[in-house]
């Protein structure tokens, strides 16, 4: 024997053994069901390539061991048939999930089929009926299964094919390891697929019974909260559920027991802590009541013995048990649990004709228990869902209204360019800015911030806007101090005890480039003078609206003459108080720096650049307050 012979035989063996780890994975349920088949295809392809190379390759001499043509055709034909079976039987699976891998597998499988036919045509050796017949039968079975049969049939046939494969190939010595491996692989595929499908069916049924949104809501509730009095329990719905479960499982008795809210069940003392609405009254009554459900009586009969109830742990029942697990004959028990806490149990007892619960019955019981949780939460969940959707709808409307009330375009006033942006932290914000053009090249600009956020703050903002517009309509000549004063008188009675609003009213007079303002506790005015190139922080003064509830002190006007090129930036504290992930606020210094950095841009892009700087600082941290910027440039 030359050394290359040994090498190739070893290689052959390795390739055959390659799928074994995957087989283990599939059997343990951890692997994906298509792995064994996939690896099988890969190793077979390599084998075929090796064999073909040995025939036509440049180093034919060293592959002389393979000159046994019979063995080659055996090999090719067997490989083709084997893969055709494995792949053909997985055909249904491919049709369901059409990923690239499945397509590749299909191409490979299709490639092996012609090879199998070729092998048959060029067959020169003796025909071994003992293995050709079972192979052919298997192929027919598989094609039949793929074409017509329901899923259960496919599985049965695949299991059968695995067995046949193993038996048939035993007759030819050289094929022994190959056939045994194939049998194992096919069997593992079938097994893991059955397991997988079962799990999926249960999940699908669960998802159908409890939509995801409701499951999330249930998970977010703080825990089981049962009504204290029985009248408010959804008895009708629980009754209907139980009836459904009894009909589906063909049982004659059943009961739902609910733990009282204040009590936690303990081993052996279950009975005293049960409420049994369906058995009319408490469990104690149920024993004396001949009309009470059989299940209740059976349950009672074993509860006093701590030994028999030992499967019920300190957290209550955690699994669905069939009869013998609880050592109580003819009883299936399922826990009703929500958020990991026990709420009660569901019990079914089969009718006399039936001895055993089927696994399917336990699934039904499981669903029943889940549905019971849902029913118990239903009212609360339903109301919350309704409330949430109503609120979000109303929020959306409020948000739209608020956005529509902001100035749509920047007004054109002599010697001034304006740009502004407001970014609410929530749908509805408490920040407010407005720009109202007046006759004689004048403009009123206001900015304000209601303490607090969300809808209440947004309502205040609406009041302020309406009041302001009415005031200016009535008296276009009103100076800022008068606006603030009247606004304070009108607004303060509307504010609750904790709410106030910072406010700043400015009037721009385009003809003489004069800025007049009156403040009510608002942030600074940033003024970048084109003369000295310095950004001045001007205190706006005044008390915020709402700090004084009566005897309002008079407001005053201040003036600032602007030169062409001067920049004025107004902001709310949402800009300077904006935090990064470490909790550090952006701060006025950063805002001033940012203004200085971008001051030569036109006002529109200046606003965007400052907000971009702020966003960069903030990173992934969500904003906690509305951010507003208003920028003027005198020209």
- The 10 Å Cβ neighbour count of residue 261 is 13
The string over 546-568, giving b where at least 16 C-beta atoms fall within 10 Å of a residue's C-beta and e elsewhere, is: beeeeeeeebeebebebeeebbb
Interface segment toward another protein; rule CB under 8 A; list 41-49, 146-154, 415-423, 576-584:
576-584
Per rule CB under 8 A, is residue 458 in the interface with another protein? no
Interface segment toward another protein; rule CB under 8 A; list 61-69, 269-277, 303-311, 539-547:
539-547
Least distance to another protein from the beta carbon of 576, Å? 10
Give how far Cα 235 sits from Cα of 159, 227, 242, 249, Å: 47, 11, 10, 21
Per rule CB under 8 A, is residue 446 in the interface with another protein? no
The string over 58-67, giving b where at least 16 C-beta atoms fall within 10 Å of a residue's C-beta and e elsewhere, is: eeeeebeebe
Size of the site for another protein (CB under 8 A): 31
Out of 105, 337, 453, 558, the residue judged to bind another protein by CB under 8 A: 453
Least distance to another protein from the beta carbon of 22, Å? 47
Least distance to another protein from the beta carbon of 543, Å? 4
Give how far Cα 40 sits from Cα of 25, 79, 80, 192, 423, Å: 14, 10, 12, 16, 59
Torsion of Cα atoms, 20 then 26 then 32 then 35, to 10°? 20
Per rule CB under 8 A, is residue 356 in the interface with another protein? no
Per rule CB under 8 A, is residue 521 in the interface with another protein? yes
Least distance to another protein from the beta carbon of 425, Å? 11
**What span, in angstroms and rounded, lies between the C-alpha atoms of 377 and 227?**
10
Residue for token pair 């007892």: 349
Closer residue to another protein (CB): 51 or 625: 625
Site for another protein in 493-512 (CB under 8 A): 497-500, 502
Interface segment toward another protein; rule CB under 8 A; list 11-19, 197-205, 214-222, 575-583:
575-583
Least distance to another protein from the beta carbon of 541, Å? 7
Out of 449, 488, 566, 613, the residue judged to bind another protein by CB under 8 A: 449
Q: What is the β-pairing status of strands 525-528 and 535-538? A: antiparallel
Q: Which long-range contacts (CB under 8 A, 24 or more apart) does 142-148 make?
A: 142/84, 142/85, 142/88, 142/89, 143/88, 145/89, 146/88, 146/89, 146/91, 146/92
Interface segment toward another protein; rule CB under 8 A; list 30-38, 150-158, 167-175, 520-528:
520-528
Interface segment toward another protein; rule CB under 8 A; list 55-63, 85-93, 406-414, 574-582:
574-582
Q: How many CA atoms lie within 13 A of 613 on its CB side?
A: 20
Out of 51, 488, 573, 626, the residue judged to bind another protein by CB under 8 A: 573
Per rule CB under 8 A, is residue 93 in the interface with another protein? no
**What span, in angstroms and rounded, lies between the C-alpha atoms of 488 and 621?**
35
Least distance to another protein from the beta carbon of 612, Å? 24
**What span, in angstroms and rounded, lies between the C-alpha atoms of 587 and 579?**
9
Residue for token pair 């720009």: 435
Q: Which of 1, 83, 4 is nearest to 48 (CA)?
A: 83
Closer residue to another protein (CB): 374 or 586: 586
**What span, in angstroms and rounded, lies between the C-alpha atoms of 145 and 138?**
10
Interface segment toward another protein; rule CB under 8 A; list 20-28, 94-102, 291-299, 492-500:
492-500
- H helix or E strand, kind and range, residue 605: helix 603-618
Per rule CB under 8 A, is residue 523 in the interface with another protein? yes
Interface segment toward another protein; rule CB under 8 A; list 135-143, 288-296, 451-459, 611-619:
451-459
Site for another protein in 542-561 (CB under 8 A): 542-544, 546-549
Per rule CB under 8 A, is residue 537 in the interface with another protein? no
Per rule CB under 8 A, is residue 448 in the interface with another protein? no
**What span, in angstroms and rounded, lies between the C-alpha atoms of 282 and 297?**
12
Least distance to another protein from the beta carbon of 479, Å? 19
Out of 625, 630, 631, 634, the residue judged to bind another protein by CB under 8 A: 625
Least distance to another protein from the beta carbon of 508, Å? 23
Least distance to another protein from the beta carbon of 498, Å? 4
Closer residue to another protein (CB): 146 or 585: 585
Question: DSSP class of residue 495?
Answer: S
Least distance to another protein from the beta carbon of 492, Å? 13
Out of 404, 583, 616, 620, the residue judged to bind another protein by CB under 8 A: 583
Per rule CB under 8 A, is residue 316 in the interface with another protein? no
Question: DSSP class of residue 622?
Answer: P
Closer residue to another protein (CB): 522 or 590: 522
Closer residue to another protein (CB): 465 or 522: 522
The encoded tokens of residue 348 equal: 């079914």
143 Cα distance to chain centroid: 40
3-class DSSP state of 44: helix
Interface segment toward another protein; rule CB under 8 A; list 61-69, 74-82, 258-266, 515-523:
515-523
Q: Which of 479, 463, 486 is nearest to 405 (CA)?
A: 463
**What span, in angstroms and rounded, lies between the C-alpha atoms of 64 and 259?**
80
Closer residue to another protein (CB): 303 or 544: 544
Where does this chain bind another protein (CB under 8 A)? 449, 451-453, 497-500, 502, 520-524, 539, 541-544, 546-549, 573, 577, 581-583, 585, 624-625
């Amino acid at each position: 024997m030359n050394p290359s012979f040994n090498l190739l035989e070893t290689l052959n063996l390795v390739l055959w053994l390659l799928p074994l780890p995957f087989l283990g994975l599939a059997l343990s349920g951890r692997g994906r069901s298509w792995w064994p088949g996939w690896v099988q295809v890969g190793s077979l392809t390599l084998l075929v390539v090796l064999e073909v190379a040995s025939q036509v390759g440049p180093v034919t001499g060293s592959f002389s061991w393979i000159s046994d043509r019979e063995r080659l055709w055996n090999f090719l034909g067997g490989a083709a048939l084997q893969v055709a079976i494995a792949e053909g039987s997985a055909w249904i699976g491919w049709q369901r999930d059409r990923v690239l891998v499945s397509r590749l597998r299909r191409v490979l499988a299709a490639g092996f089929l012609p090879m199998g036919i070729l092998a048959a045509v060029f067959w020169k050796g003796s025909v071994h009926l003992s293995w050709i017949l079972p192979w052919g039968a298997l192929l027919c079975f598989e094609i039949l299964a793929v074409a017509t049969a329901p899923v259960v049939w496919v599985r049965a046939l695949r299991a059968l094919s695995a067995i046949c494969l193993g038996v048939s190939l035993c007759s030819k010595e050289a094929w022994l390891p190959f056939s045994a491996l194939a049998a194992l692989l096919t069997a593992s595929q079938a097994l893991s697929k059955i397991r997988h499908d079962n799990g999926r069916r249960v999940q699908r049924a669960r998802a159908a019974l409890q939509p995801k949104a409701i499951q999330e809501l249930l998970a977010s509730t703080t825990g089981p909260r049962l009504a204290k009095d029985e009248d408010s329990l959804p008895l009708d719905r629980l009754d209907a559920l139980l009836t459904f479960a009894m009909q589906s499982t063909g049982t004659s008795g059943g009961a739902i027991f609910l733990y009282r809210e204040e009590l936690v069940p303990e081993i052996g003392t279950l009975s005293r802590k049960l409420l049994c609405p369906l058995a009319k009254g408490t469990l104690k009554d149920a024993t004396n009541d001949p009309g009470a459900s059989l299940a209740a009586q059976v349950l009672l009969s074993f509860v006093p013995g701590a030994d028999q109830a030992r499967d019920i742990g300190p957290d209550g029942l955690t699994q669905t048990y069939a009869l013998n697990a609880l050592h109580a004959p003819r009883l299936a028990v399922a826990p009703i649990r929500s958020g990991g806490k026990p709420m009660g149990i569901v019990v079914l007892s089969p009718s006399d004709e039936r001895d055993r619960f089927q696994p399917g019955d336990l699934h039904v019981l499981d669903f029943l228990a889940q549905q019971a949780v849902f029913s118990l939460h239903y009212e609360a969940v339903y109301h919350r869902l309704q409330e949430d959707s109503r609120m979000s709808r109303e929020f959306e409307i409020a948000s739209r209204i608020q956005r529509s009330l902001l100035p749509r375009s920047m007004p054109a006033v002599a010697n001034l360019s304006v740009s502004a942006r407001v970014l609410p932290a929530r749908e509805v914000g408490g920040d407010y800015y407005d720009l109202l053009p007046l006759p004689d090249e004048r403009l009123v600009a206001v900015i304000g911030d209601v303490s607090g956020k969300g809808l209440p703050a947004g309502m205040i903002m609406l009041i302020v806007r309406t009041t302001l517009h009415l005031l200016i309509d009535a008296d276009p000549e009103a100076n800022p101090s008068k606006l603030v004063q009247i606004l304070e008188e009108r607004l303060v009675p509307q504010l609750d005890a904790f709410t106030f609003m910072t406010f700043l009213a400015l009037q721009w007079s385009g003809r003489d480039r004069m800025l007049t303002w009156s403040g009510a506790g608002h942030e600074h005015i940033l003024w970048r003078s084109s003369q000295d190139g310095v950004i001045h922080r001007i205190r706006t003064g005044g008390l915020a609206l709402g700090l004084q509830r009566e005897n309002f002190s008079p407001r005053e006007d201040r003036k600032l003459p602007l030169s062409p090129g001067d920049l004025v930036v107004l902001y709310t504290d949402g800009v300077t108080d904006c935090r990064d992930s470490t909790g550090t606020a952006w701060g006025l210094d950063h805002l001033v720096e940012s203004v200085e950095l971008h001051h030569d841009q036109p006002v529109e892009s200046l606003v965007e650049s400052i907000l971009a700087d702020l966003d960069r600082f903030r990173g992934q941290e969500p904003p906690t307050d509305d951010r507003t910027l208003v920028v003027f440039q005198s020209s």
